[in-house]
A = this chain, B = another copy of it.
């Protein structure tokens, strides 16, 4: 089972299962204690310059936007960032806080490519390593499993592989070629969920995206939630818990925390707002103006909510599909 091929892409965050185990044992408090705090405290306490971070799910869908906006307000810089994203990664790139990017997809789906990504990468400012969407998810899964890598049959034979940090080996059981993906551990992860108790036991409705794997791949995990529910609710439906408290370091209550993205069964995406930002993002000054107004211009998520306006948000609630 020797190495038949290696990607040229830089591994911004090499796998280290033993190091992660030791870190967890030394730093992670397994006691079930209250972790509710405001976003300012959560970000200030658990994020530092140079951290490798990630967000789940993505830009327009159940994204931890309120936490990202606070991260930008606090100007945490030289960040490594993993993954799949839209507006949340654009925000970080536009704010100049990103140093390296393990990229799978940054664009606006039906609305096309990201001008902010273009400026950041074409200028050579932000370094990139390529992965497929499944590859990034499986890298989190490897970390979540506590193993240094996972085999897959994706990326083989392409430039996506050539610019990744993966390796090709021969399977010792079948002799088939497989692509090995290195586990990806995050310094800090951000997830927005539907419900959490004060200890950090979380519930998510609808698709789970990559929340399960991602939450288990983080050293520090900051949760924002639409609603904080009593612990008894968690105990009543234990199979609904996708993230147990011991993975979580902070619980931040953030109604409409995914705006301008959607939150299934709660509120629909703010199409006007998204289109406006996409338009603004074509111009550096206008992009800056957007950040000034919606991020730097507000003290916290509460002020942001007031800026967007409850009327608008209630209307978005009326636009989301039910069960």
Contacts and interface: CB of A to CB of B under 8 A. Distances in A.
Interface of A: 1-3, 11, 14-18, 145-153, 167, 169, 171-174, 176, 178, 180, 182, 204-208, 236-239, 323
A180 B149 CA distance: 11
The secondary-structure label for the interface of chain A is loop
- Residue among A149, A167, A180 with most chain B CB within 10 A: A149
Contacts of A182: 173
Contacts of A146: 153
7 contacts: A17-B174, A147-B150, A148-B171, A148-B176, A150-B151, A167-B172, A205-B239
B174 A239 contact: no
Contacts of A206: 238-239
Contacts of A238: 206
A151 B153 contact: no
Copies of the polypeptide in the assembly: 2
Given A15-B173, A169-B1, A239-B207, A148 B151 contact: yes
A17 B176 contact: yes
Given A2-B2, A151-B147, A173 B167 contact: yes
Given A149-B151, A151-B148, A3 B173 contact: no
A1 to B, nearest CB: 5
A147 to B, nearest CB: 5
Contacts of A149: 151, 171-173
Contacts of A208: 239
A153 B149 CA distance: 12
A320 B2 CA distance: 54
Nearest to A207: B239
A150 B150 contact: yes
Contacts of A174: 14-17, 148
Contacts of A178: 147-148
A101 to B, nearest CB: 20
Contacts of A180: 172-173
Given A148-B174, A150-B150, A206-B238, 13 more contacts: A1-B169, A11-B173, A16-B174, A17-B153, A145-B152, A147-B150, A147-B153, A149-B171, A167-B172, A172-B180, A204-B239, A207-B239, A237-B323
Contacts of A152: 145, 147
A150 B150 CA distance: 7
A173 B148 contact: yes
Nearest to A237: B323
A149 B208 CA distance: 25
